[in-house]
Amino acid sequence: MDLASIALSSHKRYEKIKFLGEGQFATVYKAKDLKEDRIVAVKKIKVGAKSEFNDGVNRTALREIKLQQELHHPNILGLLDVYGHKSNISLVFDFMDTDLEIIIRDNKLVLTPANIKAYTIMTLQGLEYLHTNFILHRVGQIDSGNSRYANTNDCSIY
């Protein structure tokens, strides 16, 4: 199987379900991994200016891919796959249901001191892992929108 066939099969492996959000450099979708029969998050990197490219790929995207491939910790959002389609690069991550901001703003949820302590510990454990590996999370980016939650017992930073 040649590289083009692999890229095409990876592209068809993920079926978009829902638009989740958009940032300066990427768009994120909830998707279904048809091969593994699980829900994932697909981050489609936006194509930047030609000056940002080195050998056809955005340098910021390359750095993110390289770092994410090397990070393996329960409190760091896991990178599952990377694929290209046309002129785009997509990163596939574990899917997390919500973020801390949504949890905080939900008036129906009561955060107990134990919940707050657990979320804080999980976030700090993820940061400690990053810092131990000489990686600094972008200043100001450890906020409620970058702390992802699959359930009340599972927190990962991104």
Domain boundary at 74, 94, 114, which? Answer: 94
User: 118 and 110 in contact (C-beta within 8 Å)?
Assistant: no
Strand ranges inside the chain, DSSP E: 14-22, 26-33, 38-45, 53-54, 57-58, 79-85, 88-94, 98-99, 147-151, 154-157
Q: What is the pLDDT of residues 48-74, one digit of tens each?
A: 555 555 555 667 778 878 888 999 999
Tell whether 126 and 69 lie within a shared domain: no
> pLDDT class for 123, splitting at 50, 70, 90?
confident
Average pLDDT over residues 35-60: 74
Are 19 and 78 in the same domain? Answer: yes
Residues 17 and 85 in one domain: yes
Q: Mean pLDDT, to the nearest integer, of 29-50?
A: 87
Question: Three-state DSSP class for 23?
Answer: coil
pLDDT-based confidence at residue 143 (cuts at 50, 70, 90): very low
List Cβ neighbours of 118 (8 Å cut-off, separation of 6 or more). Answer: 153, 155
Residue range(s) defining the domain that contains residue 38: 3-94
147 and 115, same domain (yes or no):
yes
Predicted confidence band of residue 152 (pLDDT cuts 50, 70, 90): very low
* Helical segments of 3-58, H only: 3-13
Domain boundary among 94, 128, 148: 94
Q: pLDDT-based confidence at 101, cuts 50/70/90? A: confident
The helix or strand, by DSSP H or E, that contains position 69, with its residue range, turns out to be helix 59-70
50 in a labelled binding site: no
